Amino acid sequence: MKKLFAVLTVVCALGRVHACWLEAPAFDTTWIHSVNWRVVHYIFDGYVQWRNGQAADLPLTVQVMPSAVYFAGGGPGGLWSNTMVEATLQYKVIRQDGSSTGFENVGTIGNLRFSAVHTPIDLFGSRGVIDIPEGQIAAGDDIIIRIVLTDAAGRTNGPLQLDPGLEVADVPDHLDGREEGNDRCGEWRAHHVFRVKYSGKRRVRVR
């Protein structure tokens, strides 16, 4: 992944981003960082890695890492830069018997502009809490979390019209960016899809 990282100023405080103005020039540089501030999806240890399948307690809060990273090629001056205007958080449950729900919308935030932030933020705030009632999920079931980003031209980061619904096999436990094409979960980029396993525990949500 050949990218030039540009780091600007943090414009929002952690956990207070409900309708905050940020600015992000490319889909691929905004990703799901973690849930509940403890279960981490994206790490960099010499190369980019995405981890899935860790245990997580409900309810889930989802942390997003916005970043200003520019790609070579395309656009004026050889840089591709699109302003994102909307973000939607979704989830689906895949049960151990193989059955699954469809993707449910949790919350949508508009008027987004990402400036670069180098720290994960609770982007969706109180409207981004995933709390699945008992009886609809059991310990050991998978929860697939996805963020859908829309830019000013109406383009999204995923082929929603072609998406038949992700299965567990499409979200492996480990992906990394060392090989071209090894950063995808089906038609979706690994940064925008996170699979966790319900621990069977409920937590008191502090953040």
Counting residues of the chain whose pLDDT is more than 70, the rounded percentage is 68
pLDDT at 15 (0 to 100): 35
Do 114 and 22 touch, CB atoms closer than 8 A? Answer: yes
Alpha-carbon distances of 172 from 144, 163, 167, 204, rounded to whole Å: 11, 18, 10, 29
More confident site: 207 or 4: 207
What confidence tens digit (pLDDT) does each residue in 13-67 have? 333 333 333 444 456 678 899 999 999 998 888 888 899 999 999 999 999 987 5
Q: Which of 42-46, 111-115, 131-135 has the lowest mean pLDDT?
A: 111-115
Helix (H, G, I), strand (E, B) or coil at 173: coil
Do 43 and 49 touch, CB atoms closer than 8 A? Answer: yes
Eight-class DSSP state of 100: B
The C-alpha torsion from 64 through 161 and 107 to 105, rounded to 10°, is -120
What confidence tens digit (pLDDT) does each residue in 139-158 have? 999 999 999 888 766 777 77
Residue 118 pLDDT greater than 70, yes or no:
no
Counting residues of the chain whose pLDDT is more than 90, the rounded percentage is 35
Residue 193 burial (CB count, 10 A): 25
Helix (H, G, I), strand (E, B) or coil at 127: helix
More confident site: 188 or 73: 188
What is this structure's pTM? 0.79
- Average pLDDT for the chain: 76
